[in-house]
Structure 1
Amino acid sequence: MRMSKAFMILCCWLFASITLFAQPDNASVNETKILQLYEKQLREGLSLRGMPASEIEKYMARGKAGLSSIDDFTQELSHLYSSEKAGKIAVLLFFFNQDSLYRFFITPGQLREKKVMACTKGQLERLNTDIYQALKIYELSESRSPIKRGNVPLPRTPKNNVSLDKAIQNATDILMPSGFDEQYKHLIIVPAFSIGAFPFQLLRPYKDNSFLVDKCSYSIAPGLLDFMAVRKKILQTFRQQDMYDIPDKVNFTLSNPLFICNPAYPKNSPYVFPDLPGAKKEIAASLPYARDYLLLEGIKATKQNLLKHIRDADLLYLATHAMSSETNPLDNNFLVLAGESDPFFTSRNIMALRDTNVHDNYRFPEMVILSACQTGLGKSMEAGITAGVARSFLIAGARQVLMSLWSVDDEATAYLMSRFIYHLKDPHEFLPSEPLRLAQLDCRKKYPNPAHWASFSVYGVDY
């Protein structure tokens, strides 16, 4: 639930002050070549996760069928949503390669804009760090983070001195097309590099200068081909239930959720993990909305118990510490559970739960809530493919992962998540993104600071 101190210090000094320069909107973009590069990077990313070549091809085939260009994607998109929803959806597809960021603004059946911008990885990462520094996320999280045993605190890095308004405006100019307006009620972001970890709800794309969260929900797709595959699988599931299409509005009932709360953290780890009393409040606020549930906390919140019960749950909710690293991310990205022996639930462990034969009848929680900072992060590639914990859960079989981008206040987080679970039970057009948007608006009334209400985003594919 907390950022590691070393990671936060690294973020502070990693990026120098730089400016993005955009090329004209009609810049030449070879869309077929972009898709080929995207597929190459996806194969590399899945290979790094330990997938054999034969399984990679099966995994990719589900989303790649009939797709050879960006234009093919725009046409295919119109078949994945009802006519009622299609007019309310926009897609921002980003692609990063050789110091160039490509941005495609797509609606079902139409490519509305393509733009290429000259930039570096550092410039993209700076979008995030400017927001974090303006919100004082690093300072607010510091006392709540895991501490390396015997670690000598590093000197605090000077701030970039960019105001929150300026940081939001800079990011809006880069990430949002001018043609995006109030007609769109849900935004799907197919990210590049670090864009997937940006809090899009804070952008101001409207003429009245309101936040995106005021008028539109959003979700972060794991990748272009993954999005296609998961959306098709969702459609297939509903059609197997004698429905031609997904209903325009869907709710999510917590029939048998599995809650993991504030484990008894290991004492023999290289890190000291502070106790998380706020996690108990967070979980307690959600329990009344569950028909039946299993709660594992303290010494019972072990990896063994999690693996024993995970396939019986429709929702998995983890409120604990997390660690993230770009070095050997399969083993060094993990959630912290109880026990002195093998307490880390790693990306490798999660990946091992996947259906290696890509069957349709496969049991895994539909939704995962990761109330643990850094869970959306990991080793990024040009296609926006991360080796973080959230990505691993999607490959393992989840359809949506609600992931925390940071955590600075237990009371605010508990209130936000209780409102999310409350809204989740009601029918919505875009679920779970719309319930999260409504929960953030509720939380903003009580906790106006964006550091308190803008800390979660949906990673995956909505119903």
Structure 2
Amino acid sequence: QEVIGRWEQQLFDLKLERQKLLEDFPSYNNPDSNVLQVLALKDVKQLLRPGQALLSYFFTESELYIFSVEPSGQFQWRKWNLPADFRERVRSCIRYLWDKQEYGKEPFLQTAAELYANLLGPDCNRMGESVSSLIILPDDVLMMMPLETLLTAPPSSNKPNWRDQQWLLKKYNVSYGYSATLLREQKQISRQNAVKTAGPKHVFGGFAPTYTQSGQYQLQNTTGMVKKVQSMLGGDVWTKEPDQEAIFKQESSNYRVLLLAMHGISDAEHPELSQLLFGDPQTDPVNNNILYATELQIMQLQADLVVLSACHSGFGKLETGEGVYSLARAFAAAKVPATVMSLWLLHENTAPALVESFFSYLQHGKTKDEALRLAKQDYLIDDQNFELTHPFYWAGLVAAGDMQSMELSDPVPHWLWYVLVGIMILLFGQYWIRQRSS
């Protein structure tokens, strides 16, 4: 009775504190305010397109709670008591993916199959063939693990090759999110962008800086990549301009899709200092070609998609309950509803093929997650890439946010509509005069 009495008193005190907070900050209880309202479970279904399910993970020290929402809106949850070495095994997989060495392949594949059996298998088996796409809301060590590299079946042989494995990639379109609430906001931003009358003027803008000074490695194939995407979508690219940071700040709001092919530097200890290098350093203290995450997140971008072909753009500081603070997260803060980012170093010969294929599928109406999956599958089955099919080469690029398909054609300029209307009036006038004359 004494313990129950203490709990009741604590509950009473908390209710009083909550009431005082609502009185001091009334906007938190106002659904029409700009304060982000936490998404109710019953509304999660609205985030899902047909055939898409959501899986959310929550860790305690010794347990993992897995919550799933099916396309029908049905909610399920389960608990898994974590093995003592679980986190270290996941970290070992991540280190192996980063390292791109063949040594240790069999242990990695075995662990990838075991992780699938515990992290996704029961849920995917229950949902069956009706689900073809997964939204993953990861937590803890899973934040840096691309789950597409898990195996839905045991390794294929005693001496397996990489491309014959039953990767999760081969069965599901996979995308990631920071939270269901933020995902709802990102979808709302996409819808608002679609109806803007004064939105971006062009579809595509690409940046691929040239590095000439010592200490900056010149990236290979990035110029060709942005020009190849430009040939598909139109728009503009910048490759040799010395002041690309200044150009980006001035021009980026004019494009619905941005491709940034450049050096990225992640600072896991101070994520606000993570940076994109837009070229050789400049003397201008404001536009010195080093764009920090803190600058990014306050920019007024209007892009529907940013593709970061930049190393470690999805890597950063892991904050419990908040996720990873990275360059990609800075773009989400800048109201960009979808990003494609890299969890580790990008290979300069393989990343362009993946990015170009991704945009090709996107141009043909695929959703962003499906476009990325198909690009990776094409890469794996291409015999030219047989020696480079270790997951390091293809699994690092992941997609986050709103995965809806995009209409990738430049809008007709307003002045052209006036010209067309004028021509029609002129033709009608000539026709009317001829009719009167006859």
User: Do these two structures clear the TM 0.5 threshold for a shared fold by scoring above it?
Assistant: yes
Choose the corresponding residue for 2:248, options 277, 281, 306.
Answer: 306
Deviates more, 1:217-226 or 1:122-131: 122-131
* CA positional deviation for 1:408: 5.1
Q: In the alignment, is the contact (CA less than 8 A) between 1:265 and 1:336 conserved in 2? A: no
Q: Say if 1:134 and 1:163, in contact at 8 Å, map to a contact too.
A: no
What is residue 340 of structure 1 aligned with on the other side?
281
Match among 238, 258, 268 for residue 205 of structure 2? 258
Counterparts of 1:230-379 in structure 2 under 5 Å?
A: 230-235=186-191, 240=195, 255-264=202-211, 272-293=215-236, 295-300=237-242, 302-331=244-273, 333-341=274-282, 342-354=288-300, 363-379=301-317
Give distance in 1, aligned partners of 2:272 and 2:133. 32
Q: Which amino acid aligns with 1:345?
A: L
| Partner residue in 2 for 1:220 | 176
Q: Which residue of 1 is the match for residue 399 of structure 2? A: 458
Greater CA radius of gyration, 1 or 2?
A: 2
- Measure how far apart 1:336 and its partner are: 1.3
Conserved 8 A contact 2:260-2:310: yes
Deviation at 1:236, TM superposition (A): 5.2
Aligned partners of 1:352, 1:126: CA distance in 2, in Å?
A: 38
- What is residue 28 of structure 1 aligned with on the other side? none
- 1:443 pairs with 2:389: no
Q: Is the 8 A contact 2:201 2:254 kept in 1?
A: no
Q: Supply the AA of the counterpart residue of 1:214.
A: K
In structure 2, how many angstroms separate the alpha carbons of the residues matched to 1:288 and 1:124?
A: 45
Which residues in structure 2 correspond to 1:25-424 (within 5 Å)? 64=37, 67=39, 72-73=40-41, 75-81=42-48, 85-86=49-50, 88-98=51-61, 100-108=63-71, 109-118=73-82, 123-124=86-87, 126-133=89-96, 136-137=99-100, 163-180=107-124, 181-205=128-152, 210-235=166-191, 240=195, 255-264=202-211, 272-293=215-236, 295-300=237-242, 302-331=244-273, 333-341=274-282, 342-354=288-300, 363-407=301-345, 409-424=347-362
d(CA) in 2 for partners of 1:96, 1:217:
24
SS at match of 1:179: helix
Aligned residues: 352
CA contact (8 A) 1:258 1:317 kept: yes
In the alignment, the residues of structure 1 paired with residue 54 and residue 235 of structure 2 have an alpha-carbon distance, to the nearest angstrom, of 37
Distance 2:201 2:351 in 1: 19
Cα pair 1:193 1:382 within 8 Å, conserved: yes
Root-mean-square deviation (CA, aligned residues, Å) is 3.3
Deviations 1:235-273 (A, max 9, x none): 4555x58xxxxxxxxxxx994322111333665xxxx33
Return the alpha-carbon distance in structure 1 between the equivalents of residues 332 and 312 of structure 2: 16
- Residue 132 and residue 60 in structure 1: after superposition, are their counterparts in 2 closer, same or farther (change >3 A)? farther
Contact 1:192 1:381 in 2 (8 A): no
* Unaligned runs of at least 5 residues, structure 1: 1-53, 141-158, 242-252, 355-362
- Is the CA contact 2:267–2:316 (under 8 Å) kept in the aligned structure 1? yes
Q: Once the 2 structures are TM-superposed, how far is the Cα of residue 439 of structure 1 from its aligned partner?
A: 0.7
**Which amino acid is 1:393 matched to?**
F
Contact 1:178 1:205 in 2 (8 A): no
Q: C-alpha offsets along residues 277-327 of structure 1, whole Å, 9 cap, x if unaligned?
A: 23223323322112222x222443531111011111111111111111222
Distance 1:236 1:338, change over 3 A: closer
Give the gaps of 5 or more residues in structure 2. Answer: 1-26, 157-164, 283-287, 405-438
> Structure 1: how far apart are the matches of 2:304 and 2:192?
15
* Shift in CA distance, 125/335, structure 1 to aligned 2, threshold 3 Å: farther
Task: State the match for 1:433 in structure 2.
Answer: 369
Distance 1:301 1:221, change over 3 A: farther
Deviations 1:169-190 (A, max 9, x none): 2432343141304331110011
CA contact (8 A) 1:324 1:378 kept: yes
**1:116 to 1:236, Cα distance in 2 relative to 1, 3 A:** farther
Aligned-pair CA distance for 1:403: 0.7
The letter for the 2-side match of 1:397 is: K
CA contact (8 A) 1:264 1:297 kept: no
Q: Secondary structure at the match of 2:152?
A: coil
CA distance in 2 between counterparts of 1:58 and 1:368 reads 30
User: What is the match of residue 36 of structure 1?
Assistant: none
Contact 1:404–1:455, Cα closer than 8 Å, also in 2: yes
1:343–1:308 distance in 2 versus 1, CA, 3 Å: same
- 2:65–2:77 CA contact under 8 A, matched in 1: no
Single out whichever of 369-378 and 408-417 deviates more from structure 2: 408-417
The Cα offsets for residues 68-127 of structure 1, whole Å up to 9 and x where unpaired, read as xxxx32x2022344xxx34x111111123445432212214212232244478x954752
Which whole-Å CA distance do the structure 1 matches of 2:99 and 2:206 have between them? 30
Determine if contact 1:130/1:160 at 8 Å carries over to the other structure: no
Q: Partner amino acid for 1:78?
A: K
Q: Is the 8 A contact 1:130 1:162 kept in 2?
A: no
Q: Note the alpha carbon deviations across 1:185-225, whole angstroms, 9 max, x for none.
A: 11001121342332222222369972221121011112232
Greater displacement, 301-310 / 108-117 = 108-117
CA distance in 2, matches of 1:61, 1:118: 39
Distance 1:326 1:407, change over 3 A: closer
Looking at structure 2, the residues matched to 162 and 99 of structure 1 have their Cα atoms a distance apart, in angstroms, of: 27
